[in-house]
Protein backbone atom coordinates (compact mmCIF):
# COMPACT_ATOMS: atom_id res chain seq x y z
CA UNK A 1 0.00 0.00 0.00
CA UNK A 2 2.82 2.40 0.88
CA UNK A 3 5.88 1.86 -1.33
CA UNK A 4 9.14 3.21 0.01
CA UNK A 5 12.70 3.76 -1.08
CA UNK A 6 15.09 3.11 1.77
CA UNK A 7 18.62 4.32 2.27
CA UNK A 8 21.33 1.93 1.21
CA UNK A 9 22.44 1.51 4.83
CA UNK A 10 18.97 0.40 5.89
CA UNK A 11 17.05 -2.76 5.11
CA UNK A 12 13.37 -2.61 4.07
CA UNK A 13 12.31 -3.53 7.61
CA UNK A 14 15.03 -1.77 9.58
CA UNK A 15 16.08 1.86 9.96
CA UNK A 16 19.53 2.33 11.44
CA UNK A 17 18.81 5.82 12.73
CA UNK A 18 16.00 4.43 14.88
CA UNK A 19 18.47 1.96 16.36
CA UNK A 20 20.56 4.97 17.30
CA UNK A 21 17.54 6.55 19.00
CA UNK A 22 16.90 3.26 20.79
CA UNK A 23 20.48 3.36 22.09
CA UNK A 24 20.04 6.88 23.46
CA UNK A 25 16.77 5.87 25.15
CA UNK A 26 18.45 2.85 26.74
CA UNK A 27 21.32 4.97 28.07
CA UNK A 28 18.77 7.33 29.63
CA UNK A 29 17.04 4.38 31.35
CA UNK A 30 20.39 3.11 32.61
CA UNK A 31 21.18 6.52 34.11
CA UNK A 32 17.89 6.43 36.05
CA UNK A 33 18.76 3.06 37.54
CA UNK A 34 22.17 4.29 38.71
CA UNK A 35 20.48 7.27 40.38
CA UNK A 36 21.18 9.88 37.72
CA UNK A 37 17.57 10.80 37.12
CA UNK A 38 16.64 13.79 34.97
CA UNK A 39 13.50 14.87 33.15
CA UNK A 40 15.09 13.77 29.87
CA UNK A 41 15.12 10.17 31.10
CA UNK A 42 11.31 10.23 31.31
CA UNK A 43 11.26 10.38 27.51
CA UNK A 44 12.71 6.90 27.25
CA UNK A 45 9.70 4.68 27.88
CA UNK A 46 7.31 6.57 25.54
CA UNK A 47 10.13 6.48 22.99
CA UNK A 48 10.47 2.71 23.29
CA UNK A 49 6.74 2.07 22.92
CA UNK A 50 6.36 4.53 20.03
CA UNK A 51 9.40 2.98 18.32
CA UNK A 52 7.84 -0.47 18.56
CA UNK A 53 4.60 0.73 16.98
CA UNK A 54 6.47 2.70 14.31
CA UNK A 55 8.66 -0.21 13.21
CA UNK A 56 5.85 -2.75 13.23
CA UNK A 57 3.59 -0.50 11.14
CA UNK A 58 6.48 0.21 8.78
CA UNK A 59 7.31 -3.48 8.44
CA UNK A 60 3.76 -4.78 7.97
CA UNK A 61 2.37 -1.80 6.02
CA UNK A 62 1.53 -3.90 2.96
CA UNK A 63 0.27 -7.00 4.79
CA UNK A 64 -3.21 -7.95 5.93
CA UNK A 65 -2.64 -9.69 9.24
CA UNK A 66 -5.44 -11.91 10.58
CA UNK A 67 -7.17 -10.43 13.62
CA UNK A 68 -8.68 -13.47 15.33
CA UNK A 69 -7.71 -13.86 19.01
CA UNK A 70 -5.65 -16.91 18.18
CA UNK A 71 -3.79 -15.13 15.36
CA UNK A 72 -3.15 -12.08 17.55
CA UNK A 73 -1.83 -14.27 20.33
CA UNK A 74 0.46 -16.06 17.87
CA UNK A 75 1.74 -12.71 16.56
CA UNK A 76 2.50 -11.50 20.09
CA UNK A 77 4.22 -14.76 21.01
CA UNK A 78 6.50 -14.58 17.94
CA UNK A 79 7.57 -11.04 18.76
CA UNK A 80 8.17 -11.78 22.43
CA UNK A 81 10.07 -15.01 21.73
CA UNK A 82 13.45 -13.34 21.18
CA UNK A 83 13.47 -11.77 24.65
CA UNK A 84 11.38 -14.23 26.67
CA UNK A 85 14.19 -16.73 27.51
CA UNK A 86 16.39 -13.86 28.69
CA UNK A 87 13.46 -12.53 30.71
CA UNK A 88 13.21 -15.87 32.53
CA UNK A 89 16.96 -15.98 33.18
CA UNK A 90 17.09 -12.46 34.59
CA UNK A 91 13.95 -13.06 36.62
CA UNK A 92 15.46 -16.16 38.26
CA UNK A 93 18.65 -14.24 39.06
CA UNK A 94 16.66 -11.44 40.68
CA UNK A 95 14.54 -13.95 42.58
CA UNK A 96 17.65 -15.73 43.87
CA UNK A 97 19.04 -12.46 45.21
CA UNK A 98 15.78 -11.69 47.00
CA UNK A 99 15.59 -15.20 48.45
CA UNK A 100 19.12 -14.84 49.84
CA UNK A 101 18.07 -11.58 51.44
CA UNK A 102 14.97 -13.23 52.91
CA UNK A 103 17.09 -16.04 54.39
CA UNK A 104 19.40 -13.50 56.01
CA UNK A 105 16.37 -11.76 57.53
CA UNK A 106 14.92 -15.04 58.81
CA UNK A 107 12.12 -15.26 56.24
CA UNK A 108 9.61 -12.66 57.48
CA UNK A 109 6.03 -13.92 57.39
CA UNK A 110 4.50 -13.92 53.92
CA UNK A 111 7.81 -13.31 52.12
CA UNK A 112 7.98 -16.66 50.34
CA UNK A 113 4.37 -16.63 49.14
CA UNK A 114 4.76 -13.03 47.97
CA UNK A 115 7.88 -13.85 45.96
CA UNK A 116 6.31 -16.94 44.43
CA UNK A 117 3.23 -14.98 43.37
CA UNK A 118 5.41 -12.33 41.79
CA UNK A 119 7.45 -14.99 40.03
CA UNK A 120 4.32 -16.65 38.64
CA UNK A 121 2.97 -13.35 37.30
CA UNK A 122 6.34 -12.55 35.74
CA UNK A 123 6.51 -15.95 34.02
CA UNK A 124 3.07 -15.33 32.55
CA UNK A 125 3.98 -11.71 31.68
CA UNK A 126 0.94 -10.48 33.58
CA UNK A 127 2.66 -8.33 36.20
CA UNK A 128 1.90 -5.03 34.47
CA UNK A 129 -1.84 -5.74 34.86
CA UNK A 130 -1.68 -5.81 38.66
CA UNK A 131 -2.87 -2.37 39.89
CA UNK A 132 0.09 -1.84 42.18
CA UNK A 133 3.24 -0.21 40.83
CA UNK A 134 5.42 -1.92 43.44
CA UNK A 135 4.18 -5.32 42.24
CA UNK A 136 4.65 -4.39 38.57
CA UNK A 137 8.33 -3.61 39.00
CA UNK A 138 9.10 -6.60 41.21
CA UNK A 139 12.03 -8.99 40.63
CA UNK A 140 13.75 -7.76 37.45
CA UNK A 141 11.72 -4.57 37.63
CA UNK A 142 12.19 -3.45 34.03
CA UNK A 143 10.40 -6.57 32.77
CA UNK A 144 7.06 -4.78 33.25
CA UNK A 145 7.88 -3.23 29.86
CA UNK A 146 7.94 -6.70 28.27
CA UNK A 147 4.65 -7.55 29.95
CA UNK A 148 3.01 -4.41 28.51
CA UNK A 149 4.63 -5.03 25.11
CA UNK A 150 3.09 -8.50 24.93
CA UNK A 151 -0.36 -6.90 25.09
CA UNK A 152 0.57 -4.24 22.54
CA UNK A 153 1.82 -6.89 20.13
CA UNK A 154 -1.44 -8.75 20.63
CA UNK A 155 -3.34 -5.61 19.67
CA UNK A 156 -1.13 -4.71 16.71
CA UNK A 157 -3.01 -6.62 13.94
CA UNK A 158 -6.16 -4.67 14.89
CA UNK A 159 -4.29 -1.37 15.05
CA UNK A 160 -2.67 -2.03 11.69
CA UNK A 161 -6.08 -2.26 10.05
CA UNK A 162 -7.08 1.00 11.71
CA UNK A 163 -4.03 2.96 10.53
CA UNK A 164 -4.10 1.55 6.98
CA UNK A 165 -7.56 2.94 6.25
CA UNK A 166 -7.03 6.72 6.57
CA UNK A 167 -5.25 8.77 3.96
CA UNK A 168 -1.80 10.09 4.74
CA UNK A 169 -3.08 13.56 5.70
CA UNK A 170 -5.28 12.10 8.43
CA UNK A 171 -2.55 10.07 10.14
CA UNK A 172 -0.90 12.93 12.04
CA UNK A 173 -4.21 14.26 13.46
CA UNK A 174 -5.01 10.69 14.53
CA UNK A 175 -1.88 10.79 16.71
CA UNK A 176 -3.68 13.35 18.88
CA UNK A 177 -6.20 10.73 19.98
CA UNK A 178 -3.66 9.19 22.33
CA UNK A 179 -2.80 12.24 24.49
CA UNK A 180 -6.47 13.28 24.53
CA UNK A 181 -7.64 9.87 25.76
CA UNK A 182 -4.78 9.54 28.23
CA UNK A 183 -5.59 12.94 29.71
CA UNK A 184 -9.28 12.08 29.93
CA UNK A 185 -8.42 8.79 31.66
CA UNK A 186 -6.34 10.63 34.30
CA UNK A 187 -8.98 13.28 34.93
CA UNK A 188 -10.98 11.24 37.52
CA UNK A 189 -7.81 10.92 39.62
CA UNK A 190 -7.09 14.65 39.53
CA UNK A 191 -10.72 15.58 40.22
CA UNK A 192 -10.76 13.33 43.28
CA UNK A 193 -7.36 14.53 44.46
CA UNK A 194 -6.05 10.96 44.37
CA UNK A 195 -2.90 11.68 42.37
CA UNK A 196 -0.47 10.61 45.09
CA UNK A 197 -1.68 7.03 45.31
CA UNK A 198 0.17 3.89 44.30
CA UNK A 199 -2.81 3.06 42.08
CA UNK A 200 -2.43 6.27 40.07
CA UNK A 201 1.33 5.70 39.71
CA UNK A 202 0.61 2.29 38.21
CA UNK A 203 -2.24 3.52 36.04
CA UNK A 204 -0.38 6.35 34.31
CA UNK A 205 2.90 4.48 33.91
CA UNK A 206 2.58 0.68 33.80
CA UNK A 207 -1.02 -0.07 32.79
CA UNK A 208 -0.88 -1.68 29.31
CA UNK A 209 -4.12 -0.07 28.14
CA UNK A 210 -2.70 3.35 29.02
CA UNK A 211 0.50 2.57 27.13
CA UNK A 212 -1.57 1.62 24.10
CA UNK A 213 -1.60 5.36 23.39
CA UNK A 214 2.21 5.49 22.97
CA UNK A 215 2.07 2.47 20.69
CA UNK A 216 -0.80 3.93 18.63
CA UNK A 217 1.14 7.14 18.00
CA UNK A 218 4.08 5.06 16.78
CA UNK A 219 1.84 3.09 14.42
CA UNK A 220 0.41 6.28 12.92
CA UNK A 221 3.87 7.81 12.49
CA UNK A 222 5.23 4.62 10.94
CA UNK A 223 2.49 4.55 8.34
CA UNK A 224 2.91 8.28 7.66
CA UNK A 225 6.65 7.81 7.22
CA UNK A 226 6.10 4.96 4.77
CA UNK A 227 3.94 7.23 2.63
CA UNK A 228 6.37 10.17 2.74
CA UNK A 229 9.03 11.19 0.25
CA UNK A 230 12.52 10.26 1.43
CA UNK A 231 15.67 12.37 1.07
CA UNK A 232 19.12 10.86 1.05
CA UNK A 233 21.18 13.60 2.72
CA UNK A 234 20.62 15.94 5.68
CA UNK A 235 19.98 19.61 4.94
CA UNK A 236 19.31 22.82 6.84
CA UNK A 237 15.54 22.48 6.53
CA UNK A 238 15.73 19.16 8.34
CA UNK A 239 18.06 20.68 10.91
CA UNK A 240 15.63 23.54 11.49
CA UNK A 241 12.90 20.99 12.24
CA UNK A 242 15.23 19.27 14.70
CA UNK A 243 16.02 22.57 16.43
CA UNK A 244 12.30 23.20 16.79
CA UNK A 245 12.02 19.75 18.37
CA UNK A 246 14.82 20.68 20.78
CA UNK A 247 12.90 23.83 21.78
CA UNK A 248 9.64 21.86 22.10
CA UNK A 249 11.37 19.27 24.28
CA UNK A 250 12.91 21.94 26.50
CA UNK A 251 9.55 23.69 26.90
CA UNK A 252 7.80 20.44 27.79
CA UNK A 253 10.43 19.46 30.35
CA UNK A 254 10.28 22.96 31.87
CA UNK A 255 6.49 22.70 32.16
CA UNK A 256 6.71 19.25 33.76
CA UNK A 257 8.96 20.77 36.40
CA UNK A 258 6.13 23.04 37.56
CA UNK A 259 3.00 22.09 39.46
CA UNK A 260 -0.25 22.22 37.50
CA UNK A 261 -3.02 23.93 39.47
CA UNK A 262 -6.38 22.87 38.01
CA UNK A 263 -7.59 19.28 37.41
CA UNK A 264 -7.36 19.26 33.60
CA UNK A 265 -3.73 20.44 33.36
CA UNK A 266 -2.85 18.05 36.20
CA UNK A 267 -4.41 15.20 34.23
CA UNK A 268 -2.17 16.08 31.28
CA UNK A 269 0.73 16.50 33.72
CA UNK A 270 1.09 12.73 34.25
CA UNK A 271 4.21 10.59 33.86
CA UNK A 272 3.42 9.57 30.27
CA UNK A 273 1.36 11.94 28.17
CA UNK A 274 3.56 15.04 28.06
CA UNK A 275 6.64 12.92 27.44
CA UNK A 276 4.84 11.12 24.62
CA UNK A 277 4.21 14.45 22.87
CA UNK A 278 7.93 15.19 23.24
CA UNK A 279 9.18 11.74 22.20
CA UNK A 280 6.97 11.28 19.12
CA UNK A 281 8.58 14.07 17.03
CA UNK A 282 12.02 12.60 17.74
CA UNK A 283 10.94 9.15 16.57
CA UNK A 284 9.82 10.64 13.27
CA UNK A 285 12.85 12.95 12.92
CA UNK A 286 15.31 10.13 13.59
CA UNK A 287 13.50 7.96 11.04
CA UNK A 288 13.77 10.73 8.43
CA UNK A 289 17.36 11.62 9.37
CA UNK A 290 17.09 14.83 7.35
CA UNK A 291 18.94 17.09 9.79
CA UNK A 292 22.52 17.30 10.97
CA UNK A 293 21.61 16.49 14.58
CA UNK A 294 20.08 13.08 13.88
CA UNK A 295 22.73 12.40 11.24
CA UNK A 296 25.51 13.03 13.77
CA UNK A 297 23.82 10.91 16.43
CA UNK A 298 23.45 8.02 13.97
CA UNK A 299 26.88 6.44 13.87
CA UNK A 300 28.34 2.92 14.11
CA UNK A 301 28.61 3.14 17.90
CA UNK A 302 25.00 4.18 18.55
CA UNK A 303 23.66 1.73 15.97
CA UNK A 304 25.63 -1.13 17.52
CA UNK A 305 24.42 -0.15 20.99
CA UNK A 306 20.86 0.04 19.69
CA UNK A 307 21.18 -3.47 18.30
CA UNK A 308 22.08 -4.74 21.77
CA UNK A 309 19.65 -2.56 23.70
CA UNK A 310 16.82 -5.11 23.80
CA UNK A 311 19.03 -7.56 25.67
CA UNK A 312 20.82 -4.85 27.65
CA UNK A 313 17.49 -3.46 28.84
CA UNK A 314 16.72 -6.71 30.67
CA UNK A 315 20.28 -7.45 31.76
CA UNK A 316 21.43 -4.10 33.14
CA UNK A 317 18.94 -3.96 36.00
CA UNK A 318 20.06 -7.34 37.34
CA UNK A 319 23.72 -6.35 37.00
CA UNK A 320 23.01 -3.21 39.06
CA UNK A 321 21.05 -5.23 41.64
CA UNK A 322 23.90 -7.70 42.18
CA UNK A 323 26.70 -5.12 42.08
CA UNK A 324 25.02 -2.79 44.55
CA UNK A 325 24.04 -5.63 46.89
CA UNK A 326 27.49 -7.23 46.94
CA UNK A 327 29.33 -3.93 47.40
CA UNK A 328 26.92 -2.79 50.12
CA UNK A 329 27.48 -6.04 52.04
CA UNK A 330 31.26 -5.74 51.89
CA UNK A 331 32.12 -2.06 52.19
CA UNK A 332 29.15 0.14 51.33
CA UNK A 333 28.45 1.96 48.09
CA UNK A 334 31.16 4.40 47.04
CA UNK A 335 30.48 8.07 46.44
CA UNK A 336 31.72 10.72 44.05
CA UNK A 337 33.95 9.65 41.19
CA UNK A 338 34.19 6.11 42.56
CA UNK A 339 30.42 5.71 42.18
CA UNK A 340 30.65 7.01 38.61
CA UNK A 341 33.36 4.44 37.94
CA UNK A 342 31.11 1.72 39.36
CA UNK A 343 28.24 2.84 37.10
CA UNK A 344 30.54 2.76 34.06
CA UNK A 345 31.65 -0.76 34.99
CA UNK A 346 28.04 -1.87 35.36
CA UNK A 347 27.23 -0.47 31.92
CA UNK A 348 30.21 -2.18 30.29
CA UNK A 349 29.39 -5.50 31.97
CA UNK A 350 25.76 -5.23 30.86
CA UNK A 351 26.83 -4.61 27.27
CA UNK A 352 29.36 -7.44 27.36
CA UNK A 353 26.75 -9.91 28.63
CA UNK A 354 24.28 -8.61 26.04
CA UNK A 355 26.82 -9.14 23.27
CA UNK A 356 27.53 -12.69 24.44
CA UNK A 357 23.82 -13.47 24.63
CA UNK A 358 23.28 -11.98 21.17
CA UNK A 359 26.00 -14.21 19.73
CA UNK A 360 24.51 -17.24 21.48
CA UNK A 361 21.09 -16.51 19.97
CA UNK A 362 22.59 -16.12 16.49
CA UNK A 363 24.46 -19.41 16.81
CA UNK A 364 21.30 -21.10 18.02
CA UNK A 365 19.33 -19.69 15.08
CA UNK A 366 21.98 -20.84 12.60
CA UNK A 367 22.02 -24.31 14.14
CA UNK A 368 18.26 -24.57 13.81
CA UNK A 369 18.22 -23.31 10.23
The pLDDT, as a whole number, for residue 101 is: 86
Q: What percent of the chain shows pLDDT beyond 70?
A: 95
For residues 35-50, average pLDDT: 85
**CA-based nearest residue to 90, from 150, 49, 146:** 146
pLDDT band at 369 (very low <50, low <70, confident <90, very high): low
The pLDDT, as a whole number, for residue 332 is: 80
pLDDT band at 3 (very low <50, low <70, confident <90, very high): very low
pLDDT of 205 higher than 90: yes
pLDDT of 4 higher than 50: no
160-190 residue pLDDT tens = 999 998 898 899 999 999 999 999 999 999 9
pLDDT of 318 higher than 50: yes
79-110 residue pLDDT tens = 999 999 999 999 999 999 999 888 888 778 88
The pLDDT, as a whole number, for residue 346 is: 96
The pLDDT, as a whole number, for residue 231 is: 67
pLDDT of 263 higher than 60: yes
For residues 340-357, average pLDDT: 96
pLDDT of 12 higher than 60: no
pLDDT band at 259 (very low <50, low <70, confident <90, very high): confident
Please state the pTM of the whole predicted model: 0.93
Q: What percent of the chain shows pLDDT beyond 90?
A: 75
For residues 253-282, average pLDDT: 92
Which stretch, 151-155, 172-176, 324-328, has highest mean pLDDT? 151-155
The pLDDT, as a whole number, for residue 214 is: 98
Which residues pair with residue 14 across a beta bridge?
A: 11
pLDDT band at 5 (very low <50, low <70, confident <90, very high): very low
The pLDDT, as a whole number, for residue 9 is: 44
Q: Mean pLDDT for the chain?
A: 91
pLDDT band at 333 (very low <50, low <70, confident <90, very high): confident
The pLDDT, as a whole number, for residue 108 is: 81
pLDDT band at 1 (very low <50, low <70, confident <90, very high): very low
The pLDDT, as a whole number, for residue 313 is: 97
Lowest mean pLDDT among 210-224, 253-267, 309-323: 253-267
pLDDT of 257 higher than 90: no
Amino acid sequence: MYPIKTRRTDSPDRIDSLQALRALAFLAVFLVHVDHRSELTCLSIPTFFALSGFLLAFRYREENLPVSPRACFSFARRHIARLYPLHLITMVLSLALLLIGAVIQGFPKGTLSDLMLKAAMNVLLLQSWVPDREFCVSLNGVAWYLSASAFLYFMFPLLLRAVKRPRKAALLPLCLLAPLLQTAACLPFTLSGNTGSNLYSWFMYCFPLFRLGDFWVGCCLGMYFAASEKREKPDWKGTAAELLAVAWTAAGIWWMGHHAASPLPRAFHNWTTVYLTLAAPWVFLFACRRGYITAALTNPLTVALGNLSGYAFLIHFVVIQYAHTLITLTRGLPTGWKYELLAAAELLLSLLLSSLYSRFMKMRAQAGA
